[in-house]
């Protein structure tokens, strides 16, 4: 048998939390609050089918050809308008289309991180971003959060300790995994801290459009006067994740290099799908579609929170998301949520243990619950099953 000599980018230990999540979600018996999956019944299947047919009628030969790394101009023009609604003024030359925002995270990390470079992240944070940063050899410094997002006071302390820190990675809206949102004041403070220390900010915003309560908050990019913020978003949560379509907004100095990296990764993002999404947005009002999703998710989030408050033991804490897909739960005592997961999965209910989301030291008794992907009946039954397992463990 061959003994592969893997590079340092390949994880030494296999910790396939995502694989576990999808495995759990694919068993029809299991009520899964685990994945970050949108509600499939809200996918606009007929409209996407129609857009596909329109694209083939109008641009058949063009869409089947190779094209430029930056992406389809028509789609980038539409994204300029989406960004304007998010209070970011930009133009088509500063927008690149990527294969989901996951690719933007990967390529940006590849561009900015040398082995042992320090990067600052929310603690806990998106697990696939942790995997990417680790694969480039980053030293990841987790910054604790409270209900208003990342703690700026602690971030400042750590930045003073590591003044050459390369990047702050943040998910300001309805964060994965906590569902928390960075307050307006902290957004401004974060950007001015980055200016003070000469650090980049990677603003990852796949969920911001799915706001179902509270006030709209401008992105960090809108406060960026020194071109430090690299902004990412995606059609995964507002349309469909299987399309694998995201975008990156950055200044031209970054963009020139980014396109070289993009080219070496996959030449360009799937041309056909770019045209389909563009056509979908010509045929339909995507804002209306997002409104529909947001309303459905609000009902599910409200129901999940009501059931948690009613059924989980006293002393349990949870976030109160104003959008997105996740609720973060903290149990009292010293419960090991990895063990809880094992019991729950035997009882056909799944979540993601908090341990997956902490880059360094795990806080026990924490876990992420997804509310977008299950029906009301499944939410009620699933919380009952979890409550029983938690009581058993306590």
Ligand X SMILES: Cc1ncc(COP(=O)(O)O)c(C=O)c1O
Residues that bind ligand X (CB under 6 A): 36, 100-102, 126, 171, 176, 204, 206, 234, 236, 241, 246
In angstroms, what is the minimal distance from the CB of 137 to ligand X?
Answer: 21
Instruction: Provide, rounded to whole angstroms, the least separation between the CB of residue 309 and ligand X.
Output: 25
Which residue, 248 or 386, is less far from ligand X as judged by CB? 248
Minimum distance from residue 226 beta carbon to ligand X (Å): 24
Pick between residue 312 and residue 358 the one whose CB is nearest to ligand X.
358
Between residues 236 and 307, which has the closer beta carbon with respect to ligand X? 236
| CB closer to ligand X out of 240 and 345 | 240
Closer residue to ligand X, CB minimum distance, 20 or 54 = 20
Cα torsion for 363, 365, 368, 371, to the nearest 10°?
-160
**What's the token pair of residue 170?**
């943040």
Structure tokens at 42: 């809200």
Nearer to ligand X, 289 or 385 (CB): 289
* Sign (positive or negative) of CA dihedral 259, 265, 266, 267: positive
CB 143 within 8 A of CB 374: no
- Please say which residue, 236 or 366, places its beta carbon nearer to ligand X: 236
- How many CB atoms are closer than 10 A to CB 173? 29
C-alpha pair distances (Å), 169 with each of 125, 203, 342: 9, 6, 31
CB of 222 to ligand X, least distance (A): 19
- Closest approach, Cβ 32 to ligand X, in A, equals 15
Smallest CA-to-CA distance from 36 within 303, 375, 368 is with: 368
Vertex 282: Cα angle to 277 and 285 (nearest 5): 95
Residue sitting closest to ligand X (CB): 100
Report which of 302, 314, 236 is spatially closest to residue 273, judged by C-alpha positions.
236
For the CB of residue 139, give the shortest distance to ligand X in the complex, in Å: 21
> Position of tokens 């995994």?
177
Distance CA 251, CA 227 (A): 6
Helices (H), the chain: 17-26, 45-63, 73-85, 100-112, 127-135, 152-161, 184-197, 252-266, 271-283, 286-311, 337-346, 376-393
């Amino acid at each position: 048998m061959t003994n592969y000599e893997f590079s340092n980018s390949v994880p030494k230990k296999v910790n396939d939390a995502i694989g576990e999540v999808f495995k759990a979600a694919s068993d029809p018996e299991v009520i899964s609050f685990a994945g970050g999956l949108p509600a499939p019944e809200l996918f606009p299947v007929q409209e996407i089918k129609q857009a596909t047919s329109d694209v083939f009628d109008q641009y058949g030969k063009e869409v089947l050809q190779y094209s430029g790394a930056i992406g389809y101009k028509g789609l980038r023009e539409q994204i300029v308008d989406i960004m304007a609604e998010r209070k970011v003024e930009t133009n088509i030359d500063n927008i690149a289309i990527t294969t989901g925002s996951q690719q933007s995270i990967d390529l940006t990390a590849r561009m900015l991180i040398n082995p042992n470079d320090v990067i600052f992240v929310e603690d806990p944070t998106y697990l696939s971003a942790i995997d990417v940063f680790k694969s480039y050899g980053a030293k990841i410094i987790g910054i604790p959060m409270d209900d208003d997002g990342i703690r700026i006071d602690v971030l400042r302390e750590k930045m003073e300790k590591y003044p050459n820190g390369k990047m702050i990675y943040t998910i300001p809206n309805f964060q994965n995994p906590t569902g928390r949102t960075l307050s307006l004041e902290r957004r401004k403070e974060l950007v001015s801290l980055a200016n003070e220390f000469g650090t980049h900010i990677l603003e990852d915003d796949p969920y911001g459009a799915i706001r179902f309560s509270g006030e709209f908050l401008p992105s960090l990019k809108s406060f960026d006067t020194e071109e430090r913020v690299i902004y990412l978003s995606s059609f995964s949560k507002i349309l469909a994740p299987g399309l694998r379509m995201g975008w990156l907004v950055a200044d031209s100095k970054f963009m020139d290099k980014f396109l070289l990296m993009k080219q070496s990764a996959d030449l360009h993002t799937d041309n056909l799908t770019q045209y389909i999404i563009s056509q979908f947005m010509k045929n339909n009002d995507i804002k209306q579609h997002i409104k529909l999703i947001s309303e459905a998710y609000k009902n599910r989030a409200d129901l999940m929170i009501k059931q948690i408050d009613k059924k989980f033991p006293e002393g349990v804490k949870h976030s109160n998301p104003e959008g997105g897909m996740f609720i973060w739960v903290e149990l009292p005592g010293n419960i090991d949520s990895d063990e809880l997961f094992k019991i729950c999965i035997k009882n056909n209910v799944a979540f993601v243990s908090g341990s997956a989301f902490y880059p360094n030291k795990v806080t026990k008794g924490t876990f992420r619950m997804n509310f977008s992907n299950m029906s009301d009946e499944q939410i009620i039954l699933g919380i009952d099953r979890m409550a029983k397992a938690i009581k058993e463990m306590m």
